[in-house]
Chains A and B, each alone.
Chain A
Amino acid sequence: MEKNMKRLILIFLALFLVKSPAFASVDWESKGMQIVGEIIANPAGFFYDFQQDLEGTTPLPPGKRFGIQTGLFPTTIPMTYTNVSAKVRLHGEGRIAPGVPQLDLIGGYWDMLAAKMATKDSETVDKAKFGGYYVGGILSTSVSPRVRTFWGYKHSVLKAKLDFKPDAQGQLPQFMGTDLNDIDTGFKDDFFIAGIETPKGIGKLWSIQLNYGLKTQVFSSKVSWYGKYFELGLNIYPEGVLVVHPVWNFHLNF
């Protein structure tokens, strides 16, 4: 109880640091327009950031052979990305020879439910397909009894296709006064991953990692806390539209 009180006081202190009158001057409307403009300029980039939220790019905990994962927030809810990811351990650390790192294969797939529903119900959307996948591998090695570093590679692909058709009046859907044309875009890159993992408590781990796209130079930093069932994360996309993504994923490791 005392511990919780202390936390509460500290959180309030933090909130006081954020001078609330300062917010009064923020022009949220123009900020909103700016965000919409950035999404239109690079829709694939915007949707790919959510794909990175569901990608499982941490190594399997020591002793586990395989794992499955599904992203809950902000992927399934509210983005309707139905998704599944898996990890398989090829060999454990030091199994083949002393000092040889653990090697895991990772991969996953997602499909946007909203895109499917839009095609079914909409008069103006002719075809819609939003989805993607990733595959890769992660090497992890203990540098002390309490610290593991990991290194990885992933190949990520996103496909976004949206075809419009004129409605009963022969009008194409409009956005901000202009006709919307078909969207056929995508994203594809090979990423380098570097991270470090350290225990936070019994059965709880904490990690921080960098994902860097070699061709597109897209990058992100993921901070996550994970236990037996859930992973909480704070993914930062400094050059993205929504810079901070709070993340909640469910996983099981066997």
Chain B
Amino acid sequence: MKKLILSALLTAGLAGRLCAAAAEDSKIFTPFFDMTLSEAAFLPSEGNIFSGGNINTQVGLLSKITQKDQLFALYNFNYTGQGFTPQDSKQFTDRSMSHGFNFEYRRLINDRIRVRPGIGFNRGYSRTGANEAWKNGLYNMNSAGAQLAADYTFDEEKNGYVTLQYLYRSVEFPNYTDLLREFQNAGNSAETSGGLQDQTMGQISLRPSWNKFFGGLTYTVQNYKNQKVVANTGVYGTTKQKDTDTALDFGFHHRLWILEMYPMVSYTIHTSNQNFMKYKFLGDSSPQFAADYYNFKEMNLSVPVDLNITSKWAIGGALSLQRRAYDKRYARNADNDFISAKQVNTMSTLTGSIRKRINEVAMVRLFGSFIVAGSNNKFERYMPYNYTGNSFGIAYQLSY
């Protein structure tokens, strides 16, 4: 589920980058190229050293048909490797890869208003620590859909504009199956346990931006096509699962003397009508019912600061905090029993780095991070909730 929220945010982020590509007046074709690469080693307090990387490549072409009409095509390759992840999201060893294609038509209505209808396709692959072939990943995902965005420029001098966007995606998980249900219905010849993650996603966002300050309000709805909500009797009822996210974010990117700051803060309210049955072991005859198990509120804050000591070199520091508090989910003790307190997860990362500008389009960064993850949930047989870790690595960025 987390994967989907991530992909939704990614789509929103991508839309932002799409908007960033601007045509040069003299050219019919303007290419867009952005490649980032990072590779790091991770040392968790529990478990052995491992390495993981991230690769993001975006290549696009903006074509100016007339003074008022433009076409923009973008291909995006993304790979997310092993790494420390927030609690309740995924395993350290999970990896994912995706190919995204976006086509957008841009039409200037007048000096201030521009509309951008578009379509998008995405193919996502996932892999666990078992090193299965990419095509066999349980959470492999295909999505297709359309979006419509409108930009209104209110301050040309300081690049002030506001974007309203609606985005729709139909998402399929071709490999996903509920193994337990397959096991229980071994005699059933009909496919009843597949397609449970298939869903449609709708997202509406309003994002103002002015003088390198930006923010936004994003509302996302995920309607599951087949997955039903589990009732307190332990059986799935007739209501289909529906999740929503309401997110508010704000940030800026400013330079003050030799200080370069780009902090960001966001607050997300996640709701889901899905409930949870806690079985302490396979065949537990008195499972515990937990209503609205997945609802939470999450706060993210990141404050990166670069100190530009010369035009080429910078020393950087970054603090990032994440806090997720569940509305109704009780934390568990080490014996897998619910305790009276609601579950709260926190993850803090402190990063130090050195950045070198290779030239006007490329840079390299060496970084080291210290991470502290804490939670009042002490049941950690499957996922680590309380750990510390170190990571260090190298990152390259080239964008044109």
Contact = CB atoms under 8 A, between A and B. Distances in A.
A30 B50 CA distance: 12
B361 A194 contact: no
B362 A19 contact: no
Nearest to A209: B35
Interface string A32-61: 000000100100000000000000000000
A10 B53 contact: no
A147 B45 CA distance: 44
Given A22-B43, A144-B400, A217-B97, A194 B48 contact: no
Contact of A25 (B43, B57, B79, B95): B43
Interface in A4-29: 6, 10, 13-14, 17-19, 22-23, 25-27
A221 interface: yes
A206 B390 contact: no
A147 B358 contact: no
B400 A147 contact: yes
B392 A18 contact: yes
Interface stretch (A84-92, A166-174, A179-187, A236-244): A236-244
A38 B52 CA distance: 16
A115 interface: no
Nearest to A201: B359
Contacts of A41: 131
For chain A, give the interface size range. Answer: 35 or more
A212 B98 CA distance: 12
A31 interface: yes
B368 A10 contact: no
Interface in B102-160: 125, 127, 131, 134-135
Given A149-B33, A208-B396, A17 B359 contact: no
Nearest to A23: B43
Given A238-B81, A243-B53, A217 B134 contact: yes
Nearest to B59: A194
Chain B interface main SS type: strand
Interface residues of B, number: 45
B35 A236 contact: no
Contact of B366 (A14, A144, A244): A14
B391 to A, nearest CB: 10
Interface string B340-358: 0000000000001110001
A95 interface: no
Contact of A221 (B55, B353, B359, B390): B55
A199 B361 CA distance: 10
Interface string A205-223: 0101010100001010101
Given A25-B43, A41-B131, A210 B35 contact: yes
Given A212-B77, A238-B55, A26 B49 contact: yes
Contacts of B396: 208, 223
Contact of A236 (B53, B315, B354, B361): B53
Contacts of B366: 14, 17
A80 interface: no
Given A194-B59, A198-B398, A223-B37, A14 B359 contact: no
A17 B52 contact: no
Interface in B367-388: 367-368, 370
B390 A22 contact: yes
A30 B57 CA distance: 34
Nearest to B353: A17
Contacts of A243: 39, 51, 53
A245 to B, nearest CB: 11
Contact of A31 (B48, B127, B398, B400): B48
Given A38-B131, A196-B35, A206-B359, 8 more contacts: A19-B370, A26-B49, A143-B400, A194-B57, A198-B361, A200-B359, A210-B55, A243-B53
19 contacts: A13-B354, A14-B366, A17-B353, A25-B43, A26-B49, A41-B131, A149-B31, A149-B59, A149-B400, A196-B400, A206-B358, A210-B57, A217-B134, A221-B55, A223-B396, A234-B394, A238-B55, A243-B51, A243-B53
Interface of B: 31, 33, 35, 37, 39, 43, 45, 48-49, 51-53, 55, 57, 59, 77, 79, 81, 95, 97, 125, 127, 131, 134-135, 313, 315, 352-354, 358-362, 366-368, 370, 390, 392, 394, 396, 398, 400
